[in-house]
Amino acid sequence: MSEQQADSNIDFNNMNKTALLAKCTELGITKCKSKPRSELINLIKTKLASPSSQPTPNNEFVQQPPNTLNFIEVCAGAGGLSSGLMKAGLFPLLLNDFNKDCCETLKLNHPGINIIHSPMEKIDYTPYIGRVDILTGGVPCQAFSQAGERLGLNDPRGALMYRFAEILNTVKPKLFMIENVKGLLSHDNGNTMRTIIETLNASGLYNITYKCLDASKYGVPQKRERIFIIGILKTITQTPFVFPTELTTRPVVRDALANVPTSIGAKYPAEKIRLFQMIPQGGCWINLPVAEQIQYLGNSYNSGGGKRGILHRLSMDKPSLTLLCTPSQKQTERCHPIENRPLTVREYARIQTFDDTHQFIGSLSSQYKQIGNAVPVELARQMGLAIKKNLELATQTN
């Protein structure tokens, strides 16, 4: 039996940290003394799964099929982006998220895939140098949202863009993709976007372009505008990335809710049910009598702005408004089109185009948050197909 085969039979979960550190040293894994046991185990398994390690069929991780493009995704969330990319025929080398529930959800739905629960900057990416086709991630977007203070790169979450750039410069994939909120375009009069692109391309290796896509135009029954930033190695092609073509078929909420499985869901208090009884499909607080509007909105009644997400009832015959992290808070209400209740978890997932078989781990609020933060699966699939097409054309022209 070879040394590599012997390693594949070791139960690393039973090894103490000292033994795990010794194995890391043996395998050439560096910068790991401060890492927890769970992360050391993942690093060892990742190293053993690499082509240079010549993994055996007994290896725990699924091996990349031949002639397929692969990807690493950081800030992977509940798997909307990864599921769509996999549906497009791409293979995940590594999925990462800092949220434990998200990682448990990923493990449940992507069995055999290397999933690491850790801050993305704490992972050793050196085993992947020269191996990665695509680096991607939904780097946290709250810092650039149109709601709140919009601190951007001054917010610790916005600063994760710099961490992504460090990973990019380490791995140097053929292509990278970042998904973020539309507010990134206008933040600080466009200076934030310029800073991000300059940071991502400090090495000058990539042709970078970006576009705001509305998910409702790509097979998703939801108005959800997101920025996609794409960079392709200049050594592969000088042609900017070509984004997917908008589809002529536009699904609506009725399509999403047809025969949806029953599931858990949030509930409205009696007073909110009373108000929703006065609101038609596609309506919101403006459909209430003026006295009810003033009482419900309070001081915000005179503050201006659209506020159409307040007391919003979806319409069966239109795409949903953007699903957020909860369906029942005052600014994020997404009432069922016909019934006086919030959307259930499975209804939320349907509108985000998750398969009915995709399960979510955690509390009810955690499940809503995972789904609301996800990239719609079908939009991700369309982007995955475009990525394949762009990289295949680049290969043919070189």
**CATH code: domain of residue 335:** 3.90.120.10
Nearest-angstrom CA–CA distance, 262 and 260: 7
pLDDT of residue 3: 43
Q: In this structure, are 91 and 205 located in the same domain?
A: yes
Report yes or no on 105 lying in a domain: yes
3 state SS of 231:
strand
* The pLDDT of residue 332 is above 70: yes
Low-confidence winner among 252-256, 301-305, 345-349 (lowest mean pLDDT): 301-305
Tell me if 59 is assigned to some domain.
no
Q: What pLDDT does 2 receive?
A: 40
- Is residue 308 situated within a structural domain? yes
Tokens of 303: 């503050």
User: What is the arithmetic mean of pLDDT over 40-67?
Assistant: 65
pLDDT, average across residues 63-77: 95
The total number of residues written for the chain in this structure:
398
- pLDDT over 70 at 276, yes or no: yes
Provide mean pLDDT across the span 96-120.
96
pLDDT of residue 193: 87
Amino acid at 46: T
Higher pLDDT, 40 or 4: 40
pLDDT at 22: 77
Give the pLDDT confidence of 334-380 residue by residue, as tens digits. Answer: 999 999 999 999 999 999 999 999 999 999 999 999 999 999 999 99
Is 282 a member of any domain? yes
Q: What DSSP element (H or E) covers 383?
A: helix 377-397
| CA distances from residue 334 to 46, 267, 303, 373 in whole angstroms, order as listed | 41, 12, 22, 15
Q: Judge if 106 and 238 occupy the same domain.
A: yes
Q: Is 32 a catalytic residue?
A: no
Q: Are residues 135 and 273 in the same domain?
A: no
Same domain, 218 and 78: yes
Q: Is residue 117 part of a domain?
A: yes
244 and 164 together in one domain = yes
Residues 234 and 278 in one domain: no
Say what the pLDDT of residue 9 is: 58
Cα–Cα distance, 63 to 50 (Å, whole number): 9
Does the pLDDT at position 391 exceed 90?
Answer: yes
Contact by Cβ (8 Å): 265, 299: no
d(C-alpha 331, C-alpha 333), whole Å: 6
The reply to whether 309 and 347 lie within a common domain is yes
Mean pLDDT score, 233-256: 96
Range of the domain at 271: 253-373
- pLDDT score for 158: 53
Q: What is the pLDDT, as a whole number, of residue 1?
A: 39
One domain, residues 69 and 163: yes
pLDDT of residue 304: 66
In a domain, 60, yes or no: no
Catalytic residue among 141, 212, 284, 325: 141
For residue 149, is pLDDT > 80? Answer: no
Listed range (5-9, 162-166, 223-227, 276-280) with the worst mean pLDDT: 5-9
pLDDT confidence band for 325 (50 / 70 / 90): very high
For residue 306, name the pLDDT band (cuts at 50, 70, 90): low
131 CA to centre of own chain: 22
* Same domain for 321 and 202: no
**207 and 108, same structural domain?**
yes
Mean pLDDT over each residue of the chain, to the nearest integer: 87
Q: Mapping DSSP to helix (H, G, I), strand (E, B) and coil, where does residue 181 land?
A: strand
Contact 282, 315 (CB under 8 A): yes
Is residue 358 in some structural domain?
A: yes
CATH number for the domain harbouring residue 77:
3.40.50.150
Query: Residue 55: inside a domain, yes or no?
Result: no
Q: Are 362 and 105 in contact (CB under 8 A)?
A: yes
Check whether residue 230 and residue 326 sit in a common domain. Answer: no
Q: Number of structural domains, the chain? A: 3
Mean pLDDT in residue range 243-261: 97
Q: How many helices (H) and strands (E) does the chain have?
A: 14, 7
pLDDT at 217 over 90: yes
Domain shared by 335 and 240, yes or no: no
| Dihedral over alpha carbons 239, 241, 246, 247 (to 10 degrees) | 100
